Every structure is written in C-alpha cells, then in structure tokens.
Structure 1
Amino acid sequence: MEASFMKNMEQFKRNFNSHVEAPVRKHLMNVYTTLAMSIVSCTLGTYIQVLREIVTPQVGALFALLSLFGFLFVGSTKEMFGIRLSMLLACSFSFGVSLAPVIQMVLLFNDPTIITTALVGTALIFIGFSVCSILSPSGKWLFLGGPLSTYLLSVTLLRIFMGGNVVEDATMYLSLGVFCAYILYDTQLIIEKKRMGDEDFLSHSLMLFLDLVNVFIKLLRILKDKDDKKKKSN
C-alpha cells in the first residue's frame, strides 16, 4: 500500500511539473503557504473565542470586514507587504471569532464529532478540487465565473425578499456544490493571473481562504441538520 501511495505521488509530481511551469509552481507555493497561515489564524480565533469570549460575534464580524476592506485598498507593493499580510491574518482571525457561535452550538446540542467530520471533509474537498483544477487544461474552468456569480447574486436577492432561513434550507446542498466549483474556478484563475504577470499571492490566497471557509460552513450546516433530524426521529 505504501509503495502504491509513493507511486501515485510520483505520478502526480510528474503531471504537476508537466502542466505547471516553474514560476507558477513557485507562486502557488507562496499562495498555499499564506493560505496555511490564514487557516491557523482562523483556527486560533475560533479556539480563543470558544474558550474565552473576547468580543461579541458581531464585533468579530465587523472587524473582519474592516480588515478585509483595509487589505483590499492598501496598494500591493513590496513596502506594504508586511501591513497587508498583517491585515490578512487579522481578517482570518476575526473570521474565526465570528465562527465560534456556530461551533459552540454544535458542541452543546449536537455530536461533537460533526466538527471533525466537517474539517476532514472540507480538507478532502479542497485538495481534490484543487488538484483537479491544477491538472486540467489551461482555462478549462474559467467559464464557471459567470454562472457562479449569477447564482450568488440570485441567492442574495432571494434572502432579502424571502428570508435567509428559507433560502438557506432550500439551497444548502446546491450552495455547497457552488463553493466546490469556486475552488476549481479560483485555482485556475490564480494560475492564469500569474501567467499574465499578477504577483499578488496574498490576494490569491484570500480567494482560496474564503472558498475554504464557505465549504466548511455549508458542510457543517448539512451535518448539523442531519443530526437534528436523526434526534427528532428517535
């Protein structure tokens, strides 16, 4: 089994090197390294907020938005790199703080293993769709940008006029599929942007971080609802 795994990894490495040129590989390494830092920061924010409520979830969400806007409006220059990285990590930390109430609710009223299942599921989904996007022909998934944006706009409008809970219940599985598709789209978009000279790997890692968080939230919600229905049936 170990030999088979090593063989598959060697095959993936060859395919990766043949599909992606060296500058893009280096760029992706920077993107995923920054993404890992953002995930650690987000996890830390959730952990601290669950153990000891440092701010209200509303304040956490507001600080996340302010950090995000600051990050987006600060110029992408070498001089501002440290400030933008700090803003990115502050934004991901605040996202973690705002996620804490959902985690606490699951810990109090549901099977705690749901959280582990959602984390593992999110990791597998992200890795699978990322590899698929990287190894696909150049530009294959870029057509998804239009339909995905249209879907999100439609859902936003429906939430305004019909109520958030009604729309969320009706589109839960579809929304999970949409954010899985966003991983395909954003990964390939990052590669194409790099090929066109865009070196801003901080912004690119933010795109993937938001995809990852959304997949986790949708997956956690699905698992929580299944557990709630199971309890009611019993």
Structure 2
Amino acid sequence: MESFSSFFDSQSRSASPNSWTYDSLKNFRQISPLVQTHLKQVYLSLCCALMASAVGAYLHILWNIGGLLTTFGTLGCMFWLLATPQYQEQKRVSLLMASSLLQGASIGPLIDLAIEFDPSILVSAFMGTAIAFACFSGAAMLARRREYLYLGGLLSSGVSILFWLHFASSIFGGSVALFKFELYFGLLVFVGYMVVDTQDIIEKAHLGDLDYVKHALTLFTDFIAVFVRILIIMLKNSAEREEKKKKRRD
C-alpha cells in the first residue's frame, strides 16, 4: 500500500501544473464545501426532473398527449420559473417538475417511435447521454476554474447557426446532408454546453448565486438536447442498416 502511495506522490510532483494528478482526482480542492453542497442539490433536482420527464413520456404513450401544446406548456413553465422570486422555493421546484413532465411528453412521439422500432435503442441512447453528461461535467469540475467559460461565446454562435439553418430549411426545403450537419453539429454544441454550463454554475455558486432550481433547469435542458440528438442518430443508423439488410435479401 505504501508503494502505491509513493508512486502517486512521485507522479504528482513530476506532473506539470496544468495536468490532472492523483490528488485532483481524490478531491475537489477548488470547490468549497458550500459549493459542493449546492452541486448536490443541483444534481438531485436534475435527477428528479429526469424522472418527471420519463413520467411525461409514459403519459404520452398512454394518452398521446405530446405535441405542440405541451411544447408551449414547457416554455411557459420555464419562463414562469425564471420570473418567480428565489424565496418561493416550493413553487419554483413545482414549476421545474411541471416543465420537465411536459418536456417528456413533448419528446414522447420520438420515444414511442424508438420503442416500436427497437426498445434497446432507447436504453442505449439514455445510457450514452448519461455517460457523456457524467464525463463532461466531471471534466468541468476537475478543470481549473473558468477554464472553459470562454467557449460560451463560440457555443452561442453555434446555436445561432443552427437556428438560421433550421429557419432556412423550413422555408426553402432541406436536404439529407443539411439534416445530418444540423444533427451532428447540434450534438457537438450541446455537449460543449454541458462543460460550459457546469463551470458557469460552479463559478456563480462561488460568487453567491445558489439558485439550485435554475441551475438544475439549465443542466436538464442540456441533457434533453443531447439525448434527443443521440436518439435520432441511433434510430437513423438502425433504419439504414435494416434497409441495407432488406436490399441484400432481395
């Protein structure tokens, strides 16, 4: 056991100041106990929001409630939450759960399609999103403070590009190549937001902003955006494989 400790000590002394060391993996020295408690509240609220969205998707499968109305309801609940004072904690948590449930119902048609096509795709997409979220959020926590915040401007530009591409394709018609670009570029942008938003939440908490409900809503939006794109990509790839198999049989 002592040999392992001496090995890691020698590695940490020889490593450069910017590299990850064994000590940095053992604890989060850059994050104060108050901020660590805040992050626990954020991620607990995020887990509850994801469960609420799963309930919303299940309600759509039962009663076919997902659509444009639930999408507007999701946006309405989000804006209502952001406009509600922070001291009304119970109301804001309820609005977070309501917006999550409606968001789950809104993506219910896509989830229903995945279940009909191959239920394993849905599980794989969720697990892939969860692993990506854990890895990139962990990287943001272990990195130096504010190290990735400069990416926020680039990611905002990426969202703007996606908006105008979607707007142009809805008016002039889109191609398969453009759809693929929007899909993969959007996935890259929102994976980047996982890192940037995590560091932004940590930095705001250090400065006294401990609004865990709003921060959980931010991470929930990132999670859903990545999940939807991964699910569409996996469905598309599976459909193409099935089509190739049918052509070979014919």
- What is the distance in 1 between the residues matched to 2:23 and 2:105? 37
> After superposition, where does 1:1-80 map in structure 2 within 5 Å?
15-53=26-64, 55-77=65-87, 80=88
- What is the distance in 1 between the residues matched to 2:228 and 2:94? 24
State the partner residue of 1:5.
Answer: none
- TM-score w.r.t. length of structure 1: 0.89
Q: Secondary structure of the residue that 2:225 maps to in structure 1?
A: helix
> 1:39-62: CA deviations, max 9, x gaps?
111111111211233x34222112
Query: Which is higher, the Rg of structure 1 or of structure 2?
Result: 2
User: How large is the RMSD of aligned CA atoms in angstroms?
Assistant: 1.7
Query: How big is the shift at 1:17?
Result: 3.2
- What is the distance in 1 between the residues matched to 2:192 and 2:166? 21
Q: In structure 2, which of residues 83, 106, 120 is the aligned counterpart of residue 98 of structure 1? A: 106
> 1:34-83: CA deviations, max 9, x gaps?
11110111111111211233x34222112111111111111222xx1111
For the Cα contact (< 8 Å) 2:24–2:142, is it kept in 1?
no
Query: How many residues matched?
Result: 220
For the Cα contact (< 8 Å) 1:16–1:134, is it kept in 2?
no
- What is the distance in 1 between the residues matched to 2:142 and 2:108? 35
> 1:92-137: CA deviations, max 9, x gaps?
00000111100111222x2221001001101100100011000000
User: Aligned in 2, Cα 1:33/1:56: closer, same or farther, shift over 3 Å?
Assistant: closer
Structure 2 portions without partners, runs of 5+: 1-21, 246-250
Q: Percent identity?
A: 29
> After superposition, where does 1:163-174 map in structure 2 within 5 Å?
163=170, 166=175, 167-174=178-185
Query: How big is the shift at 1:14?
Result: 5.8
- TM-score w.r.t. length of structure 2: 0.83
For the Cα contact (< 8 Å) 2:71–2:103, is it kept in 1?
yes
Query: How big is the shift at 1:19?
Result: 2.8
> 1:144-176: CA deviations, max 9, x gaps?
100000010111012112238544322322221
- What is the distance in 2 between the residues matched to 1:103 and 1:12? 42
- What is the distance in 1 between the residues matched to 2:56 and 2:23? 34
User: Aligned in 2, Cα 1:223/1:186: closer, same or farther, shift over 3 Å?
Assistant: same
Structure 1 portions without partners, runs of 5+: 1-10
State the partner residue of 2:132.
Answer: 125
- What is the distance in 2 between the residues matched to 1:100 and 1:123? 19
State the partner residue of 1:111.
Answer: 118
State the partner residue of 2:17.
Answer: none
User: Aligned in 2, Cα 1:207/1:56: closer, same or farther, shift over 3 Å?
Assistant: closer
Q: Does residue 219 of structure 2 align to residue 208 of structure 1?
A: yes
Q: Which moved more, 1:162-171 or 1:38-47?
A: 162-171
For the Cα contact (< 8 Å) 2:28–2:142, is it kept in 1?
no
